[in-house]
Structure 1
Amino acid sequence: MHLTIRHETRYTYTLPLAYTIQQLHLTPRVEPQQHVLSWQLSTPGHVHAYTDAYGNQSHMMTMDLPHQTLSIVASGAVETTAPDRGRVPNGDTLSPLIFTVPTRLTGVTPGILELAASCLPDGQAMTRDLMCLAEHIFGAVRYQSGATAVDTTASAALALGEGVCQDHAHLFLACCHAHGIPARYVSGYIDPENSDHAASHAWVDAWVEDKDYSGWISIDVTHARLMTDAYCRIAIGRDYDSAAPVRGVRRGGGTESLSVDVLIVPQ
């Protein structure tokens, strides 16, 4: 599938800022099932490109002149192919075991233990086990835009019974970690088709031990399905904090207003 993508993040402040630093994960990952045809990142200030610890194409943007608005635009075209049964090659050098450690957003609680036990064995899982978990999470946490925030934990979303794709991903990770199964957060884009879900998306990779395959599979928990060619992968990490598209700090500025526009055009 050919995906044309434009992602604009706009900040507006009530007072001038003296300094801004932002970590950007806005460039598609280098992976066999996706090929970047063209891509550009438009930002003010100084930009330093680097590859982070998870192999993500990253940028550090800094502005040290007074400013009251900030616009970051990532755009381009990506050719994607559907991975066989959601299986994504393990091209990185990191041990899967680093993705078994709970984080601030994926801590384990009794409610999460109960949910995990309904589907998962201990230590390793097959694709059918993980799809069962995705379906249970889909039923336990109804998709509701605006119900949660970026700092909402998996346990809080489960208790609320509502959330967005980020919460579904965090809850899936927490359940896997509770049983010692490697699982990691994925941020990127999805062709929304006729769905109400945002085109900027979050899903998961989980480690399976099937009879004919040992490795990562990619699961969209929000839609309870395996990843297809409708997805563009931007970053992986332990949770939202390590794979967020834009994340940073500022000095000054007063009250902040944020708007995000994402447009995905499939061909």
Structure 2
Amino acid sequence: MAVFKIVHITKYQYNWPIKESINEIRLFPHNFDNQDVLQHQLLITNNPDVQISKDYYGNRVGNFDNLEVHEEMTIESRMLVRVNHSLKIPEIDTATVQDLEKEKGKSIALLRLSYPETITKQKKIIAILKKINCVGKPIIEIAQQCNYYVFKTFIYTKGITNIETTIDEILEIKKGVCQDFAHILLQLLRTAGIPARYVSGYICPNENGLRGEGATHAWVEFYSPTQGWLGLDPTNNIWTMDNHVKLSVGRNFNDCTPVKGTFKGLSKQTLSVCVSIGYEDGRQFEEINDVKLQEVSIEEQKQLNYKEQQQQQQQQ
């Protein structure tokens, strides 16, 4: 069991003032199995009214409009969370994919999480599963072997992918970060007939040198008919532990995006994310990341260049 004080700060900056931003956030840790939220506070620039609801997967979702003209917007989520994943290390389990069929027949949610994404390189995914030789093996063994394959085959590399990178692209370059590793593992498990879901959260440093520590993290949970949802971290080839703090779950990253939205106005935005993690013994860990956003269109770039030229002429 472990208690963490986490501060997650998302900062958007704009090179020109914008009139309005409309946002959707999933920054509300809630009481999943083996995780208790002791405190939570949300602070947003201009203090907008946040409408909170639940999505299809049970995540708390906040929606708000920041109507005032601004050149910067900060969303700060402060939480105190107690985690105990010790009971989630799976027991010896002989349940097979065939044993899942009755479960999927009774649950639309499980069935929905069993379909792999439509990709052009699906034959490569099938070839990987043949290499692993999943036929007749217990679900837990298949999941472990797929997890190890992703960990061993794909190189953990920051800055080479972004939130728009596809599974096909990851299979091609064989590099990426936790989000990419999770998407590949999901594709393998679902193709094998195992319901699996994407998990967004944090992995808190424990001086073991885990990849992705101290920042937003992603991993996978798959469903066992006898033990329920079990978590695997393909970035580190481990089962989820006491230092995995869960925010939200969904089919993929898009279902779990911590912050997404749009704004009115012609401006180029930059995004940085700072995650600070405090321990019961007073230790503190902080990491700041500049997030690689989707490139603006050629037309938008032309308009931005024209606006900048006008500003320079006015200053001369």
How high is the TM-score relative to the length of structure 2? 0.76
* Residue in 1 that maps onto 2:52: 49
Contact 1:206 1:217 in 2 (8 A): yes
Identify the structure with the greater helix proportion: 2
Of 208, 211, 233 in structure 1, the residue corresponding to residue 224 of structure 2 is 208
Of 182, 188, 195 in structure 2, the residue corresponding to residue 175 of structure 1 is 188
Q: How does 1:80-91 map to 2 (within 5 A)?
A: 80-86=83-89
Per-residue CA deviations over 1:201-242 (Å, capped at 9, x if unaligned) read 000111235xxx242211111111111111111000000001
Shift of 1:108: 5.6
Counterpart amino acid of residue 203 in structure 1: W
Deviates more, 1:173-182 or 1:113-122: 113-122
- Secondary structure in 2 aligned to 1:31? coil
Cα distance change, pair 35–120 in 1 and its aligned pair in 2 (3 A): farther
Q: Distance in 2 between matches of 1:77 and 1:94?
A: 33
Per-residue CA deviations over 1:182-203 (Å, capped at 9, x if unaligned) read 1110001111233352421000
Deviates more, 1:121-130 or 1:226-235: 121-130
Shift of 1:115: 2.0
Q: How many residues align?
A: 258
Which sections of structure 1, spanning at least 5 residues, go unmatched?
88-92
Q: Which of structures 1 and 2 has the bigger CA Rg?
A: 2
* Residue in 2 that maps onto 1:90: none
**What's the % identity of the aligned pairs?**
29
Contact 1:123 1:180 in 2 (8 A): no
Of 135, 141, 145 in structure 1, the residue corresponding to residue 154 of structure 2 is 141
Contact 2:26 2:257 in 1 (8 A): yes
Residue 85 of structure 2 is aligned to residue 70 of structure 1: no
Contact 1:119 1:130 in 2 (8 A): no
Contact 2:115 2:191 in 1 (8 A): no
Contact 2:146 2:189 in 1 (8 A): no
> Which structure 1 residue ranges, 4+ long, deviate > 6 Å from structure 2?
none
Residue 201 of structure 2 is aligned to residue 159 of structure 1: no
Contact 2:198 2:221 in 1 (8 A): yes
Residue 141 of structure 2 is aligned to residue 128 of structure 1: yes
Counterpart amino acid of residue 101 in structure 1: Y
Cα distance change, pair 116–264 in 1 and its aligned pair in 2 (3 A): farther
Shift of 1:54: 0.7
Determine which structure has greater relative contact order: mean sequence separation of CA pairs < 8 Å that are 6+ residues apart, divided by chain length: 1
Q: Distance in 2 between matches of 1:111 and 1:59?
A: 38
Residue 21 of structure 2 is aligned to residue 7 of structure 1: no
Cα distance change, pair 193–107 in 1 and its aligned pair in 2 (3 A): farther
Shift of 1:83: 3.9
Aligned residues: CA RMSD: 2.1
Counterpart amino acid of residue 204 in structure 1: V
